């Protein structure tokens, strides 16, 4: 059996196991290990298993994951999310669709600290839903807005997806964080554009709220200061070069904990929940990383990526066509797979191809994240839609229906970043100058 056949068989077996519901990390470990046995021998496979299990979990860059997860938990239990939406509501609530605008802005700001799609969607949907219901917002608009806006948590830094991609692709995590800022803002603006057009087309979709005075608006600004302080400490430190990504994450954890403490939200139950959620999430991510490294080692020794890259080169296909095909693959797989799992599974395969054609790896990381965000609101998986439906009680069919108009916003933002790479690369180049 040829090396190419073994590689294809391994990929096929792993995809079948994933679709059957087997844990992605476990799938990659088993397939990678047995594939290594088939190509080499048991001794070499056991050596790879031992080496990557230890090295993956002891890498310094990996410490940033539990720190950002823990910071997000402290932010959630401190009640900052409630203050955030309340403040944005006062500023935008009187306009038609104002609460939906507030939802988008709140998700963008909360995502700038949380870094998780599921956590951003769940937290802000839980906060926004009761108020939107009080003002008679239709379920379709509520579900569509919050499920789609929740994806901003993976694009606006810090982002767990960017961290994993940076580790897998050996790209600066700080540069990835910077590269996600402008595309994240563009996507948020596009979401607001959809809300504006939709509310104009359907007058009963989102009634206007009550007017507020400038005194109330100025007073409401106090609800932003905690989030802005965390934002300044975490991202300001990274972008200025004063602190590393890991150091910024540690400082952010300390500040978020102090906020939780001073707001008297630090109880035995809340601390237990914070730590358990952090341990569970980190354990899941680390298992997936170990599996990705073992699977990547198996794929590498089969020469599958280099063979495919060489074959594509021999066809004399333009580079943009290669990227287009990769985007299509990511778009299809993003509809049926979790975003983190897809990154870990695909990077060992696609990265050598991207390198051969000389595309910027930071830019590629941004477009991968954006296309997977679109998959997160697309059936049949649509993770963000499932999360929104679960925490709000809105029927899943209505959430998916509400998400459909926002797919146009995803598409516009994505096309802009693909066609104009400097939209994502401008800020990293400025900071690295």
Mean pLDDT to the nearest integer, 264-277: 84
Cα distance between residue 366 and residue 343, in whole Å: 12
| Contact indicator for 387, 121 with CB cutoff of 8 Å | yes
Q: What is the dihedral of CA 56, 61, 62, 67, to 10 degrees?
A: 170
How many angstroms from the chain centroid is the CA of residue 105?
A: 17
Q: How confident is the model at residue 363 (pLDDT cuts 50, 70, 90)?
A: very high
327-348 pLDDT tens trace: 887 777 776 666 777 777 778 7
pLDDT at 200 over 70: yes
pLDDT at 153 over 60: yes
Cα distance between residue 106 and residue 123, in whole Å: 10
Q: How far is the CA of 145 from the CAs of 150, 152, 203, 220, 289, in angstroms?
A: 8, 11, 17, 23, 32
Residue 292 within any structural domain of the chain:
no
Residue 314 within any structural domain of the chain:
yes
Number of domains forming the structure of the chain: 1
Count CB atoms within 10 A of the CB of residue 201: 9
pLDDT at 433 over 60: no
Percent of the chain with pLDDT over 70: 91
pLDDT at 166 over 80: yes
pLDDT value for 171: 86
Q: How confident is the model at residue 186 (pLDDT cuts 50, 70, 90)?
A: very high
pLDDT value for 336: 64
| Contact indicator for 218, 127 with CB cutoff of 8 Å | no
pLDDT at 382 over 80: no
pLDDT value for 416: 92
Residue 38 within any structural domain of the chain:
no
Burial 38-59 (b: 16+ CB within 10 A, else e): bbeeeeebeebbeebbeebeee
Q: How far is the CA of 71 from the CAs of 139, 182, 230, 234, 292, in angstroms?
A: 31, 23, 10, 10, 25
pTM: 0.79
Lowest mean pLDDT among 25-29, 218-222, 284-288: 218-222
Cα distance between residue 317 and residue 410, in whole Å: 27
Cβ burial, residue 362 (10 Å; 0-12/13-18/19+)? buried
pLDDT value for 269: 85
DSSP secondary structure of 257-280:
HHHHHHTT---HHHHHHHHHHHHH
Higher pLDDT, 430 or 367: 367
pLDDT at 297 over 60: yes
Q: Mean pLDDT in the chain? A: 80
pLDDT value for 80: 75
Q: Is residue 27 within a helix (H) or strand (E), and if so which, with residue range?
A: helix 24-39
Higher pLDDT, 242 or 60: 242
pLDDT value for 387: 81
Q: Name the packing angle between helices 117-134 and 383-392 (round to 10°).
A: 40
Mean pLDDT to the nearest integer, 34-38: 87
| Contact indicator for 353, 364 with CB cutoff of 8 Å | no
Domain that holds residue 89: 63-282+304-432
Residue 125 within any structural domain of the chain:
yes
Side-chain-side CA neighbours of 50 within 13 Å: the count stands at: 6
pLDDT value for 183: 92
Lowest mean pLDDT among 3-17, 102-116, 382-396: 102-116
Cα distance between residue 358 and residue 390, in whole Å: 43
Higher pLDDT, 98 or 93: 98
Mean pLDDT to the nearest integer, 136-147: 87
pLDDT value for 93: 62
pLDDT value for 368: 87
pLDDT value for 381: 65
Residue 6 within any structural domain of the chain:
no
Side-chain-side CA neighbours of 156 within 13 Å: the count stands at: 24
Residue 24 within any structural domain of the chain:
no
Residue 341 within any structural domain of the chain:
yes
Mean pLDDT to the nearest integer, 208-230: 71
pLDDT at 369 over 80: yes
| Contact indicator for 414, 367 with CB cutoff of 8 Å | yes
Residue 142 within any structural domain of the chain:
yes
299-316 pLDDT tens trace: 878 877 777 777 776 767
């Amino acid at each position: 059996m040829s090396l190419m056949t073994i590689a294809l068989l391994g990929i096929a077996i792993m995809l079948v196991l994933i679709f059957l519901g087997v844990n992605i990390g476990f799938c990659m470990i088993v397939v990678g290990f047995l594939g290594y046995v088939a190509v080499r021998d048991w001794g070499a496979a056991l050596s790879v298993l031992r080496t990557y299990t230890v090295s993956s979990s002891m890498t310094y860059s990996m410490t940033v994951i539990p720190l950002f997860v823990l910071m997000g938990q402290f932010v959630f239990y401190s009640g900052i999310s409630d203050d955030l939406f309340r403040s944005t509501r006062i500023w935008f609530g009187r306009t038609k669709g104002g609460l939906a605008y507030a939802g988008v802005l709140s998700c963008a700001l909360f995502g700038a600290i949380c870094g998780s799609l599921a956590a951003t969607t769940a937290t802000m949907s839980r906060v926004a839903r009761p108020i939107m219901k009080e003002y008679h917002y239709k379920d379709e608009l509520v579900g569509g807005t919050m499920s789609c806006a929740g994806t901003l948590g993976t694009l606006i830094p810090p982002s767990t997806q960017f961290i994993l991609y940076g580790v897998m692709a050996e790209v600066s995590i700080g540069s990835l964080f910077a590269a996600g800022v402008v595309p994240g803002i563009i996507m948020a603006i596009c979401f607001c554009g959809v809300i504006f057009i939709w509310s104009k087309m359907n007058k009963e979709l989102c009634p206007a709220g009550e007017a507020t005075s400038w005194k109330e608006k100025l007073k409401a600004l106090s609800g932003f200061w905690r989030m802005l302080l965390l934002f300044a400490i975490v991202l300001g430190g990274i972008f200025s070069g004063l602190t590393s990504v890991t150091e910024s994450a540690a400082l952010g954890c300390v500040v978020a904990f102090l906020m939780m403490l001073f707001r008297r939200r630090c109880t035995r139950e809340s601390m237990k929940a914070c730590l358990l959620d952090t341990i569970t999430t980190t354990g899941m991510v680390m298992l997936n990383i170990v599996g990705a490294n073992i699977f990547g080692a198996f794929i590498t020794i089969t020469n599958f990526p280099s063979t495919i890259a060489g074959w594509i080169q021999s066809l004399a296909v333009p580079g943009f066509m290669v990227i287009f095909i990769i985007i299509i693959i990511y778009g299809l797989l993003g509809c049926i797979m979790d975003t983190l799992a897809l990154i870990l599974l695909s990077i060992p395969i696609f990265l050598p191809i991207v390198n051969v054609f000389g595309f910027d790896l930071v830019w590629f990381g941004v477009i991968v994240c954006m296309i997977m965000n679109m998959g997160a609101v697309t059936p049949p998986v649509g993770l963000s839609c499932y999360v929104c439906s679960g925490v709000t009680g809105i029927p899943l069919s209505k959430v998916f229906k509400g998400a459909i108009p926002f797919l146009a916003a995803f598409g516009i933002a994505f096309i802009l970043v693909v066609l104009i790479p400097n939209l994502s690369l401008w800020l990293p180049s400025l900071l690295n100058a």
